[in-house]
A and B are shown apart, each in its own frame.
Chain A
Amino acid sequence: MNRTMRNWVRGAALPLALLVGLTFAAPPASAAEVAAPVPAPETPSQTPVATAAAAKVAALDSAELAAATQDAATEPESGSSFFKSPRGVIALVLAVAGVSYVIYSSQNDRINSPIR
């Protein structure tokens, strides 16, 4: 075994040992998780349609379906209320100041090449 090979093996040995250790240690670590039920390894076409669910779905009307699709997101702040709030005013002032300063810098810090 030459020097290069020895270095290679030495370099890989510790991480490999760590890997094996972590792999076998993993099941206990993950066993405590509250995970969704593990699906059986089958394709969708093989999945039986829930009989009870089918009956429920058939009984649903469009209004119920629409009610089930409510927006779950947090309602965003409206523009008028945000810009009237102190944080909105400060943010707007800082943003305008930042853009203005960069435009000023673009005009004044520019090194103009004589050939352009």
Chain B
Amino acid sequence: MSCFKRFPAVLALLLVLAPTLAIAQSLTGAIQGVVKDEQGGALPGVNITLSGTRGTRTAVSDSTGSYRFVAVEPGTYSVTAELAGFAGRRSENLEINIGQNYTLDFSMKVATQTEEIEVIGEAPVVDTTSSSTNNQLSQDLLFNIPIRPSNAATQLLDFTPGVNWGTAFGGDNDTSNGLLLDGVDTRDPEGGSAWTFFAYNLVDEVQIQGLGAPAEYGAFTGVVVNTITKSGGNNYSGLFDLYLRHEDLVEDSNNVTDEIARANPALADPAVTQEEMDLTAQFSGPFIKDKLFFFVSAQRYHLAQDPTGPRTIRDEVSPRLNAKINWNPGPNDNLQFMFQKDEYNVIGRPGVTALLATDELTNREDAPEYVWGAQWRHLFGANTFLEAKFTGWWGYFDLNPEVNAPGHFDAGTGLYSDSQGWFYYADRERNQLNASVSHYAEGWGRHDLKFGIEIERSKVRNRYGYVNDLFYYDYEYYYPKGQYTAYDYGYDREGRNQRESFYLQDSWKVTDRLTINPGIRFDWVRGYPGGESATGPNGDAKVYDTKNLAPRIGFAYDITGDRKTVVKGSYSQYYEGAFFLTYGAAVPGTEDFVLHFYDPAGEKCGPLGNCFTEYSRSESEPYRVDPDIKHPRTDEFTLGFERALSKDVRLAVTGIYRKDKNLQGSVFPDARWIQNSTTSAEGDDPSLSGIPVTYYTWANPDESETNGLLTNPDGFQYLDVNGNVLGTAKAYRRYKGLMFVLDKRMSDRWMGRISYVVSRTNGTVDNSGFQSYGAGTQFESPSRALVNQDGPLTYDIQNELKIMAHYQVPVIEMGLSAYFRILTPDGFYTPFQQFGSSVVNNFPSTGRRIFIEPRGQHEFEKLTELNMRFEKIFKVNDGKDRISLYADVNNVTNASTIIDVQDRWPSQAIGGVDEPVPFGAPGLLIQPRRWTFGARWQF
């Protein structure tokens, strides 16, 4: 509410400042500088020409010798300075990245006899005017390093420092990262995971923002992955790429050791890839020189496997078509139109835990999608420009059971049979408009000002249910199959997200050395029930409403004054995006959970004629949303040092502190609890056997289960039957890290990056995905909220080393590339014991999983991975065409690192395995050594 009270004042401030405001650099960079003569005097009237793939732009230095190019699209440029009477100068191979503001000064000499233009070098590797820390993946890295994700380019963020398994700087796994496609977020409005999959070869550059990010970046709590896709230019360009792995060429190696196979026999049958084929055809060029350009891309990705475990088939096909038109109707306008049609078709997707799934326990996924986008950029002169971007998509994914019959679960063996037994349909639509005005101004120093708005509208519909409205819960040890109990449950929930964001930021160059980056961002996030249930539980159309004010402040100081060494720091607040999961439990449409007992005379009958009578019904009432609920946010401090060690080498060291606040969850305010103690079950490990465990029994579910509340559970008190406080919930997550990055850009035939991150991620709310929003049920029961919750989180990667390198061998024209990483440990896990429903009284199964020792006492082992690429390059047609044959070998050492374990104490039933697998046994390995071959022609 405090934010709400401040809102009018902030809005007024924004409105007052708006007419004088400024720049949108989310898709572009800028080049500016001063032209002087040999004595240091400013040179006015110098013609500066910026040449790129889509023509040239010119500027003339002003009375102070200054010039600038705003809204420069990412790419490689040359800049030439010419003035009659002086020798011209040119800077070549100037690589402009997103959001970077290059200072390029020229010192001109009086002309001598020669008319040639003197080449003076390339752009600096260190940006001394920004407090942000950026670690982008350039086109050179993307094209040469063997970091190709198996399916979609959205997975590229894992190759940057501080990001592993989709967890960025300790944040929620895969759900907290903004995924921008050409400057507009495209992730799933349900909970923030990736939805729009696009081809790896479509990517021109990936910028990872999130450390000291300016106010234009918001609606995330991890990082922002700003992906710029390719466009056409004045030259005809093409890329035709075949990427193939096939068992007839080279079979995948087997990295399952005898020891691993003994510990978990389900892994003894490792996955076999029959074929992985990725075909790309891209073509671009001009319709009209300097005016109208096209880009077309077609990709078909196919993966056929016999997966690990009892399943024998997994087949995935993704055809994707992209088209883009760029139009420059005049010197000051640029328009862009983009369209994508793609599908994600999967056979053999597991419908139960992967290692339990047989072919009949799988589903088929149908997931088509359309993506559209339009952009307009208008220059109002050298100092001001407008940028408007609109991107949207529509799609769904349906999971239909391979066998259309009710499913069975046997309580005695823990195994499923007959069918997965359920269906799931997810419908989505998302549209977002971003508009900004950028302005360069002078007064008390120089200012790059930017004011922008974002408007998001998105829709979510989720449907779930059981085939024939029954799922059998069997106990074949005592009862014939299908003649014990069965239950029924389902939902059809719809929601509409609305978000408006306003931001104002400045890059204030106080002196030539000092830059201050202040900014402020306001996000208004709302949630409504959608479809026919367009009113909430209290008759309100709106069930979720938060107003969030996020300040940003940063500085960058050029220590040595030569644009080679900078100290930078920042304080930032990032609020999460608008997600259905923050209020989904408050939307009507959930059916009661009904438990049936077998009864030949019962009225509810399955397809086999076995009938049931209703035994109990757990009423489903939409949760209420705390009217004072706060939106999840991350507070961040950074302090960094960057230095250009040579003209091509950059060293960056950044300290990072992040704290996640306003974490959300559901509670039952009227619930009363009985504290109990027991001992853990006996098992193979004596240190985990018979240890004291506290748990809580729900004393009054009938009186309290229909009063669920979505709130910020930090500070929530759990009461006993007499109203005494049993304990207070603590909901937090904290990350501390120190990041070292050494970058060498492409020169002298080689390039590379070495990064090392040492960090700690602790908390009571895990970072394993979807944990920060209202969907989390952890705080409904004190058994999970209060017992052993504090400690290292699942994705607490304490030491991370990543090395990328590429070298082009002369004479033989071979490309050698490598990607190497060590993660130690590769996260943490905690033993839980599954308590019976009767013990804790009627809680869902996830609420009965109680940690038997403090969180994070067990480490995953060190992950070591080495991928290499060997490429033979043929340069033909005077080097205009590059034809190459390449081979990627992943997991060169055929390491058998365990990346998941069986964490249920004391054991867990696994499909196809006679005896339950004990706690700590391997559950999943990294993929074995595998060879992929490719051929590509690029011009």
Task: Please give the residue numbers on chain A whose beta carbons come within 8 Å of chain B beta carbons, in ascending order.
Answer: 4, 7-8, 11-12, 15, 18-19, 22-23, 25-26, 29-30, 33-45, 47-54, 56-57, 60, 64-65, 68-74, 76-77, 79, 82, 87-88, 91-92, 94-95, 97-99, 101-103, 105-106, 109-116
Contacts and interface: CB of A to CB of B under 8 A. Distances in A.
B236 A82 contact: yes
Interface in B263-296: 279-283, 285-286, 289, 296
A88 B236 contact: yes
Contacts of A19: 641, 651, 653, 740
A-B complex: 10 closest residue pairs judged by Cβ atoms: A98-B281, A50-B41, A113-B398, A44-B64, A57-B45, A11-B758, A95-B283, A73-B51, A76-B234, A109-B317
B881 interface: yes
A114 to B, nearest CB: 6
B646 interface: yes
B34 interface: yes
A107 B83 CA distance: 60
Contacts of B82: 68-69
Contacts of A113: 366, 398, 400, 425
Main secondary structure of the interface of A (DSSP, over half): helix
Contact of B345 (A39, A40, A111): A111
Contact of B44 (A38, A54, A79, A114): A54
Contacts of A39: 34, 36, 40, 105, 512
A5 to B, nearest CB: 10
Interface string B353-380: 0000000000011101000000000000
A48 to B, nearest CB: 5
Contacts of A23: 643, 651
A61 B85 CA distance: 13
* Residue in B47, B51, B105 whose Cβ sees the most chain A Cβ within 10 Å: B47
Contacts of A56: 83-86
A111 B346 contact: yes
B238 A102 contact: no
B238 A110 contact: no
Contacts of A29: 645-646
Nearest to B758: A11
B366 A36 contact: no
Given A11-B799, A47-B64, A110 B343 contact: yes
Contacts of A102: 298-300, 319-321
A34 B251 CA distance: 52
Interface residues of B, number: 98
A109 to B, nearest CB: 4
Interface stretch (B55-63, B472-480, B482-490, B906-914): B55-63
Contacts of B653: 15, 19
B237 to A, nearest CB: 9
A100 B40 CA distance: 60
* Residue in A29, A69, A103 whose Cβ sees the most chain B Cβ within 10 Å: A69
Nearest to B65: A47
A30 B647 contact: yes
Contacts of A65: 45, 47, 60
Interface string B415-451: 0000000000100000000000000001001100000
B235 A77 contact: yes
Interface string B45-83: 101010110011010100111100000000000101011
B513 interface: yes
8 contacts: A12-B758, A19-B651, A29-B645, A52-B37, A53-B86, A71-B51, A73-B234, A110-B343
Contacts of A103: 319, 321
B120 interface: yes
A47 B321 CA distance: 53
Contacts of B352: none
A69 B331 CA distance: 15
B287 to A, nearest CB: 8
B561 interface: yes
B444 to A, nearest CB: 10
A69 B49 contact: yes
Given A15-B756, A48-B42, A91 B238 contact: yes
A49 B234 CA distance: 38
Contacts of B300: 101-102, 105
B11 to A, nearest CB: 33
Contact of A53 (B58, B80, B83): B83
Contacts of A97: 281
Given A26-B643, A26-B645, 11 more contacts: A30-B564, A30-B647, A37-B36, A44-B34, A48-B40, A54-B44, A68-B84, A102-B320, A110-B368, A113-B425, A114-B400
A42 B514 CA distance: 11
A45 B647 CA distance: 29
A49 B300 CA distance: 60
A30 B565 CA distance: 12
B347 interface: yes
Nearest to B876: A87
A49 B120 CA distance: 23
B236 A91 contact: yes
Nearest to B62: A44
Contact of B36 (A4, A15, A47, A116): A47
A66 B933 CA distance: 52
Given A87-B939, A94-B281, A95-B283, A49 B425 contact: no
A47 B34 contact: yes
B240 interface: yes
B738 interface: yes
Contacts of A33: 121, 646-647
A18 to B, nearest CB: 8
Contact of A91 (B319, B644, B939): B939
Interface string B29-40: 000001011011
Contacts of B63: 49
B760 interface: yes
Contacts of A72: 49, 51, 56, 78, 80, 90
A22 B345 contact: no
A57 B121 CA distance: 26
B758 A95 contact: no
A102 B36 CA distance: 55
A48 B512 CA distance: 16
Contact of B279 (A52, A76, A101): A101
Contacts of B366: 110-113, 116
Contacts of B862: none
Contacts of B400: 113-115
A50 to B, nearest CB: 3
B538 interface: no
Contacts of B610: none
Contacts of B564: 30
Contacts of B321: 99, 102-103, 106
B148 interface: no
A98 B64 CA distance: 53
A49 B41 contact: yes
B656 interface: no
B511 interface: yes
A116 B815 CA distance: 48
B884 to A, nearest CB: 16
B47 A69 contact: yes
A109 B121 contact: no
B43 A53 contact: yes
B236 A95 contact: no
Contacts of A35: 121, 562, 647
Nearest to B317: A109
Nearest to B738: A12
A79 B292 CA distance: 13
B396 to A, nearest CB: 8
A44 B42 contact: yes
A77 B236 contact: yes
A41 B561 contact: yes
A50 B37 contact: yes
Nearest to B345: A111
A73 B317 contact: no
A69 B49 CA distance: 6
